[in-house]
Amino acid sequence: MLDFTLPQLIARLFVLVVAFTVHEFAHAWTANYFGDDTPRSQGRLTLNPMVHIDPLGALLLVVAGFGWARPVMVNPVALERRSPAAPMLVALAGPLSNLVLAILAAIPVQAGLVNITQFSSGVLPSAFGLISEFVFINLVLMFFNLIPIAPLDGEKVLTYFLPSAGKRFMASIRPQGFLILLALIFVLPYMGIDLLEDVILQPTLALYNLLLG
């Protein structure tokens, strides 16, 4: 995925700033809403992108189309005092924010206000080129973060709905979650299972075509 053009690179940098910032702010705002002041005390209840961007995750987003930001720290005990579902809702807020961004960005296209035949204008992306990249990457971030392996948001969402035995199992593998995730991404393709293709790219393309088709 390194064959992107200069307009695509510019568009991805813009997407990085907006999508990651809103994603992490959504986590922070939801945690604060449920009574956990940890994000506020750590300066994460802000739309300042410099607070949220992770250099490695940002680089991967630019060159590979997926990545991550600095995770928002929360206090599960404080959240559960308000509601047992609060930790799950805080986790879900991030991916949902990316879906909302993708839907909002698609509105001008659906309304016929954007020329959909022009992807770039010289070194800059066209309006449709920017919207296309914005929608696509926000959807990629949503589906990627919904993978139910720690440290991704989907792990907390799935765990909430599991019975006690399932919750204990998820807790037992949580410390190795990042290594498990790397194995799923880079090892499974040699076994004929492509996580990025089947779980992220295909659903992304389907929803992308629905929004911009």
Q: Which two tokens stand for residue 64?
A: 């590979």
Cβ atoms of 27 and 74 closer than 8 Å: yes
Residue 56 CA to its chain's centroid (Å) = 15
Cα–Cα distance measured from residue 138 to residue 156, given in angstroms and rounded to the nearest whole number:
20
Write out the two tokens for 78.
């404080």
24, 80, 133, 197: which one is catalytic? Answer: 24
- Across-strand partners of 120? 125
Active-site residue, 24 included: yes
> What are the φ/ψ torsions at residue 18 (nearest 5 degrees)?
-75, -55
What does the DSSP 8-state code read for residue 104? Answer: H
Provide the annotated active-site residues.
24
